[in-house]
Each structure stands twice: as structure tokens, then as C-alpha cells.
């Protein structure tokens, strides 16, 4: 039984009750449809594949992307394979899943096949990268940005012998890189304010000085296009929980193919061996992405995750990005009209999928929104984070801003001056 991946489209044709964008299938030119092609579904037709959208206004895809119904099927498929195939399932797809699923991620990030391995999360993927290096020579500096995700910061800080330089922003990272720099862990889209970073400039400067760039693309892949090959990053990491709608437990690691064969991770295991089932006493690193694997893969998480990847691949990240830019522009406009300070970039070219807004007493506003079925979150210092995905309607965005105004406004009215 092969690992589940790429099941592709199901035929969901019913129109959403929540509004529409673009022509309806029956309005499209008949000439576009042949025996060999099906009409591209209206983007809002994908709503019906995400059951939680019927119950909530789901604007928290930067944190936990909505679950596709197909993920439940995949998890059941996993259970059935385990129940009926037993030990044979390893040879029928399970053992290879860290690489076969990695190949699906590779398609989403512009990487060649055989360059992405699956891990439990970003922290572990970055730990594998770190374990390829030692920090006892003259080149032991790590330059990163203030806005990196905490887990990534903690991990780098904890390495023995490192010399950490923290820059205020992406320009600061460029300035701080020098001949002492070994690694530059950088974030594509910042988690707190959704700002897209100037990765090109960082890669250029790092490579001029012989440093290597580790790109954390968790907040971009699935909503902001990423081409790791064109960018020339040395490593890239991400997970599946957010814009990929793949659920927890399926982090990924890309390593530049020409670099991979020169590295020997110290965080290693038998999946990284050329002949794992020979059970040899010494490590003999496999070629390609396999050399970055560790032990037994997280099989159920990999089953679940592919349901999210399938729908993202089917819709297409370029199309998702075009819709996301419209959605975030609308949110910025509505929130500013309502008198709130937006903390995400106004320039759409610098803005990822999340809009951050500071309202009075935003924790209370966030909690009340949640009670009303409008799911978003807040982060200290910055305010509410709203992360619409391709399946959200403009009406939902208007509704969320109305509710924010009502909740935050009522508090202002009740506060004695
Ligand atoms: C940019 C970024 N990196 C990493 C993480 C999480 O890392 P991990 O997979 O180790 O939990 C997040 C959010 O959870 C994030 O927003």
C-alpha cells in the first residue's frame, strides 16, 4: 500500500453560501473544458472541504490552519493499514514516507526531488542542521534577527561555543554578517507581524562571506510563494501546522543538494544509514535527503499532513497569494477605517498572510471574539493576529472587523475618562 499523497481533486461543485469571487463554472467558456481537463474550481468552492468553516469564522491559519476533511480519511487509512497490513506496512510505504512526503514539500518550495526530509518539527529540523557544525574555531558566529521564532532562538543560543549576534531587522542581519559568521538563521515571514524579509540580500551577503543561510519558511509556505533554488538558500525548514493545513508533527528540512553530500549531522540515526537493515555498527551516511533523517518516522502525522499539501498544491500557491493580498488589503483598509493601528506592512510586497492590529485591551478582545466563534489570536506587544486563507470570504473579514469594533468600542465607552 503506497504512502498517501497526491490524491488530487475531488469534485466539490456546490456553491458556498458565503459569497463568491470570479466566474461560476457555468459562466466559463465551454471551450476551456475538454475530456482531458476539468474546470478550475472557484476558490471559494474549496470551503466545503474544510468542515470547521461551517461553524466558525476561521482566521487563525497562521497558527493552526483549518483541517481538510480528507485529513480524517488519511488518519483512518493509516489506522486501517496498521490494523490489516501490520508489519508489512513498513515495506509498503511507511519506511519511505519521510522522503516521499518530503518530495511533495519539495514541489511546494521549488526544490528538486530528493532534497527534503521530514522531521517532527522545526526545532528538530534546525537541530539536525546545527549538528553538522562545530563552534570551536574562528568561524563560530551566528547572526539572526530579533523577530525569529523563540524556539529557533533558544536552540541557537543553547549551542556550546557559539557567538550570537542579534540584529534588529533584516537590514541589520545583512550588516552584521562578516567573515566570522558560520550560520544565518533567518525567517521568511515574521510570526509576530507578518512582514516578509529581504532574504535575497541576506543570502547574497552571507555567501560573499562564506556563511550559510537557514531559512525558516513556516509562515510563508502555503501562502507566500517560495523558491529555495532561485533564492539560493543553503537550508530551509518549516512545518505543516499553519498555511499548509497539514496538522502537527510534520516538520521538513531542505538542504541544498550540492552541499548535502559534504555534511555529516551528529544528530543522526539508523534512517540516515545507507543500509539501515544491515544494522552495521558504524554510520555510513546515505546520499541525498536521507542522510538528514534520524529514527523511526512519525507515520500518522505524515498521513494527515498530505491531505493539506494536496489541497494547497491543487489550488496553487500563486493563486492563494493573489487572494491573500486582496484579503489582507481589505483587512488593513477596514481596520484603519475603524480607527485601529495596523502593525503589518502596508506594502503588499512586504506583507505575508497575517494582519496584526492593535486594539485597546486586545487580549480581552481576542478572548471575546473566540467566544463569538471568530477564531484569531494575539501576541504580546503587537496585538491581534488575523490570518485569512484562500477559503475565507470577504464577508467573513467584514464581519470580524465589525465584531472587533463592537467589542473594543464597547470597552472604550465603558472606561471612565
Ligand atoms: C516562524 C516560525 N517558526 C517556527 C515555529 C514553530 O516551530 P516548531 O515546529 O519547532 O514548533 C513557528 C510557530 O509555531 C513559527 O511561526
Q: What does the pLDDT look like over 323-381, one tens digit per residue?
A: 999 999 999 999 999 999 999 999 999 999 999 999 999 999 999 999 999 999 999 88
Q: Which three cell numbers stand for residue 186?
A: 533567518
Confidence category of residue 107, pLDDT binned at 50, 70, 90: very high
- Residue 415 C-alpha to ligand 1 middle, in angstroms? 37
In a domain, 213, yes or no: yes
In a domain, 90, yes or no: no
Tell me the three state secondary structure of residue 34. Answer: strand
Mutate to test the pocket of ligand 1, among 127, 150, 189, 191 (most ligand atoms within 8 A of CB): 191
* 352: exposed, middle or buried (Cβ count in 10 Å: 0-12, 13-18, 19+): buried
Name 326's Cβ contacts closer than 8 Å, sequence gap at least 6: none
Is the same domain home to 303 and 351? no
In a domain, 44, yes or no: no
In a domain, 248, yes or no: yes
Asked if residue 115 has its Cβ within 6 Å of ligand 1, the reply is no
Q: What is the pLDDT of residues 270-326, one digit of tens each?
A: 999 999 999 999 999 999 999 999 999 999 999 999 999 999 999 999 999 999 999
Closest atom of ligand 1 to 190 CA is 1
Q: Where are the beta strands (DSSP E) in 63-191?
A: 116-119, 141-145, 163-167, 181-187
Is the same domain home to 253 and 214? yes
Per-residue pLDDT at 21: 32
Asked if residue 154 has its Cβ within 6 Å of ligand 1, the reply is no
- Residue 138 C-alpha to ligand 1 middle, in angstroms? 30
Which one-letter DSSP state was computed for residue 68? P
- Residue 365 C-alpha to ligand 1 middle, in angstroms? 24
36-50, 257-271, 350-364: which has the minimum mean pLDDT?
36-50
Number of domains in the chain: 2
In a domain, 178, yes or no: yes
Domain-terminating residue out of 314, 346, 380: 314
Structural domain for 160, as ranges: 97-314
Does the structure show a pLDDT above 80 at 413? no
Q: What is the CATH number of the domain that holds 347?
A: 3.90.1150.10
Per-residue pLDDT at 27: 39
Asked if residue 108 has its Cβ within 6 Å of ligand 1, the reply is no
In a domain, 373, yes or no: yes
Confidence category of residue 4, pLDDT binned at 50, 70, 90: very low
Is the same domain home to 286 and 378? no
Which one-letter DSSP state was computed for residue 317? H
Amino acid at each position: 500500500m503506497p504512502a498517501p499523497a497526491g490524491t488530487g481533486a475531488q469534485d466539490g461543485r456546490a456553491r458556498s453560501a458565503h459569497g463568491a469571487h470570479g466566474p461560476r463554472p457555468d459562466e466559463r467558456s465551454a471551450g476551456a473544458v475538454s475530456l482531458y481537463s476539468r474546470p478550475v474550481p472557484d476558490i471559494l468552492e474549496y470551503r466545503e472541504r474544510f468542515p470547521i468553516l461551517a461553524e466558525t469564522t476561521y482566521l487563525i491559519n497562521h497558527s493552526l490552519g483549518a483541517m481538510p476533511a480528507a485529513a480524517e480519511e488519511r488518519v483512518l487509512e493509516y489506522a486501517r493499514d496498521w490494523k490489516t497490513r501490520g508489519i508489512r506496512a513498513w515495506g509498503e510505504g511507511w519506511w519511505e514516507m519521510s522522503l516521499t512526503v518530503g518530495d511533495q514539500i519539495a514541489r511546494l518550495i521549488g526544490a528538486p526531488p530528493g532534497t527534503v526530509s521530514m522531521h517532527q518539527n522545526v526545532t528538530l529540523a534546525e537541530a539536525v542542521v546545527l549538528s553538522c557544525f562545530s563552534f570551536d574555531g574562528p568561524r563560530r558566529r551566528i547572526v539572526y534577527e530579533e523577530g525569529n521564532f523563540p524556539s529557533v532562538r533558544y536552540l541557537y543560543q543553547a549551542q556550546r561555543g557559539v557567538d550570537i549576534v542579534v540584529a534588529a531587522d533584516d537590514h541589520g542581519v545583512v550588516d552584521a554578517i562578516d567573515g566570522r559568521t558560520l550560520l544565518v538563521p533567518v525567517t521568511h515571514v515574521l510570526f509576530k507581524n507578518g512582514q516578509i524579509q529581504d532574504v535575497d540580500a541576506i543570502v547574497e551577503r552571507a555567501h560573499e562571506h562564506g556563511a550559510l543561510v537557514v531559512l525558516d519558511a513556516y509562515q510563508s509556505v502555503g501562502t507566500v510563494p517560495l523558491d529555495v533554488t532561485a533564492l539560493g538558500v543553503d537550508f530551509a525548514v518549516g512545518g505543516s501546522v499553519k498555511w499548509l493545513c497539514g496538522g502537527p508533527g510534520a516538520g521538513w528540512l531542505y538542504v541544498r543538494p550540492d552541499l548535502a553530500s559534504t555534511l555529516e549531522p551528529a544528530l543522526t540515526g539508523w534512517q540516515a544509514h545507507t543500509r539501515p537493515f544491515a544494522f552495521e555498527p558504524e554510520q555510513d551516511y546515505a546520499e541525498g535527503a536521507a542522510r538528514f533523517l534520524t529514527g523511526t518516522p512519525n507515520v500518522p502525522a505524515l498521513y494527515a499532513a498530505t491531505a493539506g499539501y494536496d489541497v494547497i498544491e491543487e489550488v496553487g500557491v500563486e493563486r492563494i497569494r493573489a487572494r491573500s493580498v486582496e484579503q489582507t488589503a481589505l483587512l488593513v483598509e477596514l481596520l484603519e477605517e475603524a480607527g485601529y493601528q495596523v502593525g503589518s506592512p502596508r506594502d503588499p510586497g512586504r506583507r505575508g498572510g497575517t494582519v496584526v492590529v492593535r486594539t485597546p485591551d486586545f487580549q480581552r478582545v481576542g478572548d471575546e471574539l473566540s467566544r463569538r466563534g471568530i477564531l484569531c489570536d494575539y501576541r504580546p506587544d503587537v496585538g491581534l493576529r488575523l490570518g485569512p486563507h484562500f477559503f475565507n470570504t470577504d464577508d467573513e473579514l467584514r464581519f470580524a472587523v465589525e465584531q472587533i469594533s463592537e467589542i473594543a468600542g464597547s470597552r472604550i465607552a465603558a472606561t471612565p475618562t
